[in-house]
Amino acid sequence: MNKIAFVFPGQGAQTVGMGKEFFDRYDVAKRLFKEADEALDYSIMKMCFEGPENDLRLTANTQPAILTVSVIAAAVLKEHDIVPDIVGGHSLGEYSALVAAGVLKFQDAVLLVHRRGAYMQEAVPVGKGGMAAVLGLERDKIVEVCAEISKESPVQAVNFNCPGQVVIAGATVGVEKAAEALRAAGAAKCVMLPVSAPFHSTLMAPAAKKLAAELDRVEIVDASIPVVANVTGELETKAADIKQNLVIQADHPVKWEDCVAAMKTFGADTYVEAGPGKTLCGFNKRIDRSLKNLNVENIASLEKTLDYFKEVR
């Protein structure tokens, strides 16, 4: 059997009620929710289960909530003897991947992403920055158009998700102007995203600086299995490289298409998205139709995934 990759979702995958089914059935989920609440000093568990949605949508809450549910999904899979040979995550998901690879302790990661979310929000006041998904235009053209608009107002391509989908971010004015110019250049669609900050853009530099100080305070060890880095699209195992990449990641683009290419070159042909939603399954299908994509976000999807592995084993 070929290699298994666990991939972990980023922000935007959150839904009220996530993780509750795992909590009801698995002791490991109860333990991890308890650890998350202790690390944060407030109940992320209650927020995951009951909302309100507006609170769950705040970046400083969204990030630890998604990370906790993602780590639980991976832990539940491990209890069923399904473990990854390689891991990767989209943006925030990279932290979930690092927990799965033994690089970060779970409680450290929960607190780190809570602060990361707060720093990202502080970097650009609400309403001053935005993001938009650009559909149906090649990445080089998007980069070129953004560079032109940036002469007046900052905007850049920040998520290279899959063929035909690139996300841009920057000052709200810059994003709106770029969206207009990209439509004129042939983009099928430009959709403004419901986010509160221009993630992964150069405007996040103050957040990256504060994050560097936070990362100095936690223990980061070499990975037990390879982790693919968002900023390089390459496999990493050394603690020092991983730490450096996490700092840079805050204000640099996410190269998801490159990440999947690296995991495929490594030999991964089965991808399990651990955590809420199926966003990465969607991206991966568009990157390479030959890859097998599964997801685990609740009991139904877990059982489907377990059935698949029973068959192939």
Tell me the pLDDT tens digit for each residue of 139-184: 999 999 999 999 999 999 999 999 999 999 999 999 999 999 999 9
Bond from prior residue into 206 cis (ω within 30 degrees of 0): no
Q: 96-131 as b/e, with b when 16 or more CB fall inside 10 Å?
A: bbbbbbebbbbbbbbbbbbbbbbbbbebbeeeebbb
Picking from 295, 239, 288, the residue whose alpha carbon sits closest to that of residue 259 is: 288
Q: Which residues does the annotation mark as catalytic?
A: 91, 200
Q: Which fold has domain 129-195?
A: Alpha-Beta Plaits (3.30.70)
C-alpha count within 13 angstroms, C-beta hemisphere, residue 21:
14
Strands, E assignment, 126-238 = 129-135, 155-162, 165-171, 189-192, 227-228, 235-236
Map out the domains of the chain as residue ranges. 3-123+203-312, 129-195
pLDDT mean across residues, the chain: 97
The predicted pLDDT at position 1 comes to 58
The predicted pLDDT at position 313 comes to 87
Contact 66, 94 (CB under 8 A): no
Q: What is residue 178's three-state secondary structure?
A: helix
**Cα gap 216→292, rounded to integer Å:** 38
Is the entire prediction scored with pTM above 0.95? yes
The predicted pLDDT at position 196 comes to 79
Query: Is pLDDT of 126 > 90?
Result: no
Show the tokens assigned to 116: 């990361």
CATH architecture of 3-123+203-312: 3-Layer(aba) Sandwich (3.40)
